[in-house]
């Protein structure tokens, strides 16, 4: 019997071709949008894999009840913290799409770091007020310590760029080991060491019970006064009030924020509890670090490759551990 992949979001013909090419085995790809209730139920009962972008928005309770035979739920997103326990059937393996967006996000991180080190936004604002600070020193990235908190796809891609500029790479991951040629590696038990030496700190770890609020007043106080903090992960990893207070009291410290605490995709709205954008030492972007041309097709291709692994019996990548599946 030909295996079936049920896709819970709209799949135009070009995208279906991308997915079919990545899967590269005989499989039926069925897009659920546009099907009536009976056809949806049949498709999901027959599905070996469900591919979803946002299960809460795309799958109904009736859909979930029909997914009894599904062997894998493959997500399009790298982060899965916004998926609640009742969004997916219990016991079904879930794979994230970690790494699918790493290259554009690494470039975004580099752009933010350069803007901070070179004082681009600060001096642009000064020029607008008629101030010409030609001899105000900016900074070189060469020779800096780039600390990376979370060494998955985004962290590794950023490390490659920063290493090419001449920064040394210090990283933290779960295991405290990597095959990459880094200058130092540790686990979260050694977080204080990483914070103290980093000129640049990139946060690129998932939001879990263990990482929520990981960076607070004490941790920020361990960092260099002129450090550059970049958050591409989730706002909730940093204590919002503590970061705002630290920025106010440490004007040479810069926060580059792409990931905010309350965002439209995860929360239905954008909101700040503190006026970060009023501070001169903040560089903000609307969590668009992955929003580059053709990113959707690249992510779909990577998700399709993981579906192929499931269908051919190869080890599935990026399986989400039960303890990290939800907050």
Domain coordinates in residue numbering, the chain: 4-99+293-325, 102-284
Count CA atoms closer than 13 A to 151's CA, side-chain side. 24
Whether the CB-CB separation of 193 and 205 falls below 8 Å is answered with no
- As a whole number of Å, the end-to-end CA separation of the chain is 38
pLDDT tens digits, 110-160: 999 999 999 999 999 999 999 999 999 999 999 999 999 999 999 999 999
Identify the weakest region by mean pLDDT among 9-23, 38-52, 73-87, 122-136: 73-87
Fold of 102-284: Rossmann fold (3.40.50)
Encode pLDDT of 63-94 as tens digits.
998 998 899 999 999 888 777 666 778 888 99
266-304, pLDDT tens digit by residue?
A: 899 999 999 999 999 999 999 999 999 888 899 999 999
Average pLDDT of the chain is: 94
What pLDDT is stored for residue 323 in this prediction? 63
- What are the C-alpha distances in Å from 33 to residues 11, 52, 302? 8, 12, 22
pTM: 0.90
Query: Torsion-angle region of residue 99: left (phi > 0), alpha (psi -120 to 50) or beta?
Result: left
Domains 4-99+293-325 and 102-284 share a fold: yes
From 3.30.70.890, 2.60.120.560, 1.10.1050.10, 3.40.50.720, which CATH number describes the 4-99+293-325 domain? Answer: 3.40.50.720
Per-residue model confidence (pLDDT) at position 324: 62
The answer to whether 263 touches 69, Cβ cutoff 8 Å, is no
Separation of alpha carbons 158 and 289, rounded Å: 12
């Amino acid at each position: 019997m030909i295996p079936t992949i049920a896709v819970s979001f709209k799949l135009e013909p070009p995208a279906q071709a991308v997915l079919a090419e990545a899967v590269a085995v005989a499989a039926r790809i069925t897009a659920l949008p546009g099907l009536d209730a009976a056809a949806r139920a049949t498709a999901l009962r027959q599905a070996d894999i469900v591919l979803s972008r946002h299960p809460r928005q795309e799958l109904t309770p009736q859909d979930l009840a029909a997914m009894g035979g599904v062997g894998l739920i493959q997500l399009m997103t790298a982060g899965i913290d916004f998926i609640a326990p009742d969004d997916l059937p219990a016991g079904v393996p879930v794979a994230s799409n970690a790494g699918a967006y790493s290259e554009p996000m690494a470039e975004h991180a580099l752009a933010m770091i350069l803007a901070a080190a070179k004082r681009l936004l600060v001096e642009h604002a000064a020029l607008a007020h008629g101030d010409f600070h030609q001899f105000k020193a900016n900074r070189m990235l060469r020779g800096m310590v780039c600390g990376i908190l979370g060494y998955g796809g985004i962290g590794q891609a950023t490390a490659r760029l920063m290493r090419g500029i001449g920064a040394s790479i210090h990283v933290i991951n779960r295991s405290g080991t990597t095959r990459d040629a880094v200058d130092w590696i540790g686990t979260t038990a050694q977080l204080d060491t990483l914070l103290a030496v980093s000129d640049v700190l990139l946060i690129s770890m998932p939001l879990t019970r263990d990482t929520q609020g990981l960076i607070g007043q004490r941790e920020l106080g361990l960092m260099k006064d002129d450090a550059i903090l970049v958050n591409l992960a989730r706002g909730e990893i940093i204590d919002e009030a503590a970061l705002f207070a630290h920025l106010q009291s440490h004007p040479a410290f810069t926060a580059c924020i792409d990931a905010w605490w309350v965002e439209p995709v995860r929360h239905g709205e954008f909101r700040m509890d503190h006026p970060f954008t009023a501070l001169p030492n903040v560089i903000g972007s609307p969590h668009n670090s992955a929003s580059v041309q053709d990113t959707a097709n690249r992510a779909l291709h990577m998700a399709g490759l993981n579906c192929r692994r499931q269908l051919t019996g190869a080890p599935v990548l990026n399986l989400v551990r039960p303890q990290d599946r939800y907050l």
